[in-house]
Structure 1
């Protein structure tokens, strides 16, 4: 606990020295919501699906055609204006009438895909929220590791300085000073590695929240250890499963739409004809046309739609199985992290601190050798690092479990 309290006291000073602004997890989440590229892309997909729905409900546009016939350069065009020329002019308007409920099926499928895109947006937000918390806790852990590494390097530096004085006084052998200097060099190297890990953690968080990485400093303490009820929201409310279910519905509708292609569309037309070949004559006409299934009856399109429907069903079943495994894994990881956290905070860390303190005192009185002192220091530092990792692992496991229950739907 002494080391933890020291870290908490030193964090603000370190942040001010590096011109870093303390950032809480709530503040990070607000910045993430405003700057998340993944959520922005998911919203764009929703907009595209909404446009597809509008397109699906549109009636086919009519076709208009103007044809001029009976043009003969040998017999002449006749005198007078254009309307007096000896030609046959036809103006025609055609409208396709869809049969088999094709338009309704297109709309139904587009609606299902739009709902799937909205659930994808929810699931993206859920997963990215988890990624944000991971990045925040990674930064918090990197900060704590750096402080421990600097504290250790400073301790070995003081010990090395004191060792040189004791060597001059004849209190220690040259080999002991060499051992102190070796451990100091190792501690300095670990401090540089911890600094590099901190910078990497800052970059990861900066990407998610759109801030300058060099100014990022995680100020929130670790989540308090507490017994979790581990109650789980039913899996059928998970947005990724809802999205998969909607895609099954869309694929089923697409299959029905492919089958509906066998229902022939009818094209109705009306025509106005102005004929000046002999006597000026105006006439009107109507007509219709239907496609002939001479070479195929859309067997390929139907088979493809059937395959897509089977694939969508299998994808949904696969995601269901994966979701069940994810929940079980999140539960197991959280329980394991709780047990590890309790073991370290329940006495192991305090015992290591007491042993190291006693070793320092004994060495200062000449009652303990240098190797035993260095071993006690290494053990303490290892336990401190493990305790920091245990806090981070518990925070991440708790976040994972909470994310499993966050099935809020964005409107």
Structure 2
């Protein structure tokens, strides 16, 4: 190698520490005013707890059956298994990209037999020769054991950018798993509340049907005795049929929610019918305080935002990976082997063949192909940044909306609770009047029917309140497991 060639090679090797492409400096500020706000502006009269929320937020409802269903979901849901498989794929891809930074070597053992017609190798001892028909032939045996290696120097950091992108993708897959846990735990809680609500309303409807049947029978007796009109009979009959009709859609919804709950826990539809057959008298209400934190913590905690941020980091690194392809490549190939024309030559360790071949390649005349790939990578990165901004804004909106619904639902529940208390008092007064002989049984049954109707309305509102509480947990991204959340990026706020 000449002195000029050596200097050229040294100059190229000095570039090995160079890494092209933009360095990732963290996600953009998608909601500049959110970090300044101490809490969501429309939290209203929702009590805010100062302590950080626990991961298993559903335990705050105090329902052992719900907690057991959540545990089964986190252990057996196939969507979680798929997300975990994607994590393993991403981690394997990261290991592969790291390995690409290292040389690639392989060992070979070769035996070859060659027959050369019309060629006389003389008495070299390397094969057999014979004459036939005026032509010479020779046979040669070749034995060789060797090792070859190849390595491409990462001059401009393209492979290092590939490792950076693979690492970010693995972290995004981890965040996707946490996001799946958030969604599934919220879906289980919502389906469970709907099951309990339908069961309670069906039981109340059947009680109301029994009382209305009794009222209709008494009214028919009065009509037969001439103390009631046909209109009274028809009105009560129509009311009874309407109440009976309400049971049918409730029963269909109950079966659908039971099937949904079973599949969410990884079971077949119908697997929970016996487990959930017992009607729970009272739907567990959310706690008096709701831990919500602040918008800045929301941006750091929600797994879907973390996944979007990690995807942005990966796509930023891929720009450098594409940009490095525009520059020269330096690769090395080396071969070491021993052997000869007889098996004994394999024992001559001091007689080996060695080859070292550096190679420089540069596809400078590609008519803009690599430049187009860089532009494409930049477009993908810009799309990822836009998706990150959208994810942050959507998260803030979800949190604001869920808090607003929760606030106004609390007012509705309080109003209906007062209506239920009034209906209870009216039914108690009617019972006292009937016992004193100043009111009829029909009046008492009608007061009890109104009491049941008030209880049904309150049950609907309470179920909605719990569903809104679940929506808050989902909006704040609190359903992950303690060991299942992806670590926050160095550029983002950690938990």
Q: TM range, normalised to the smaller chain?
A: 0.7 to 0.9
Counterpart CA distance in 2 for 1:118 and 1:62 is 33
CA shift, 1:275, in A, is 10
SS at match of 2:357: strand
Match of 1:328 in 2: 400
**Residue 314 (structure 1) aligns with:** 386
Aligned to 2:188: 132
Partner Cα distance (2:199, 2:126) in 1: 88
| Shift, 1:322, TM fit | 0.9
In structure 1, the gaps of 5 or more residues are: 1-21, 277-281
Using the TM superposition, give the Cα deviation of residue 139 of structure 1 relative to its aligned residue in structure 2, in angstroms.
Answer: 0.8
The alignment's C-alpha RMSD in Å is 3.9
Q: Which protein has greater RCO, CA pairs closer than 8 Å, 6+ apart? A: 2
Task: Write the mapping of 1:112-261 to structure 2, written as runs, cut at 5 A.
Answer: 112-211=168-267, 212-217=271-276, 219=280, 221-223=283-285, 226=288, 228=290, 230-232=292-294, 233-261=297-325
Unaligned 5+ segments in structure 2 are: 1-62, 129-137, 342-351, 485-495
Contact 2:182–2:477, Cα closer than 8 Å, also in 1: no
DSSP 3-state at the match of 2:150: strand
Task: Assess if the C-alpha contact under 8 Å between 2:286 and 2:469 holds in 1.
Answer: no
Q: Give the match's secondary structure for 1:214.
A: coil
For the Cα contact (< 8 Å) 2:431–2:444, is it kept in 1? Answer: yes
Alpha-carbon distance in structure 1 between the residues aligned to 2:237 and 2:91:
68
Match of 2:29 in 1: none
Residue of structure 1 in register with 2:360 after alignment: 290
- Within 5 Å, give how 1:362-373 maps onto structure 2: none
Tell me, in whole angstroms, the C-alpha distance in 2 between the residues paired with 1:74 and 1:246: 68
Name the CA shift for 1:77/1:366 in 2 (closer, same or farther; >3 Å).
farther
- Match for residue 11 of structure 1? none
Q: Quick one: distance in 1 between partners of 2:234 and 2:431?
A: 18
Note if contact 1:153-1:184 (Cα within 8 Å) is conserved in structure 2.
yes
TM-score if structure 2 supplies the norm length? 0.66
Q: Deviations over 1:379-399 (max 9, x none)?
A: 655533321111011111222
Equivalence for 1:337: 409
Q: CA contact under 8 A between 2:319 and 2:377: conserved in structure 1?
A: yes
Distance 1:284 1:195, change over 3 A: closer
Specify whether residues 228 and 118 from structure 1 end up closer, same or farther in structure 2 by C-alpha distance, changes over 3 A only: closer
Q: Is the 8 A contact 2:283 2:463 kept in 1?
A: no
Partner residue, 1:300: 372
> Which of these residues, 330, 336, 339, is aligned with residue 265 of structure 1?
330
Verify the 8 A CA contact 1:77 1:87 in the aligned structure 2: no
1:99 equivalent in alignment to 2:154: yes
1:302 to partner: Cα distance? 1.7
Deviation at 1:292, TM superposition (A): 3.8
8 Å contact kept, 2:113–2:139: no
Deviation at 1:202, TM superposition (A): 1.1
How many residues of Structure 1 are paired with residues of Structure 2 in the alignment? 384
Q: Deviations over 1:186-221 (max 9, x none)?
A: 222212222222112211111112451322427473
Which whole-Å deviations, capped at 9, do the CAs of 1:136-161 have from their partners, x for residues lacking one?
A: 11111111111111111111111222
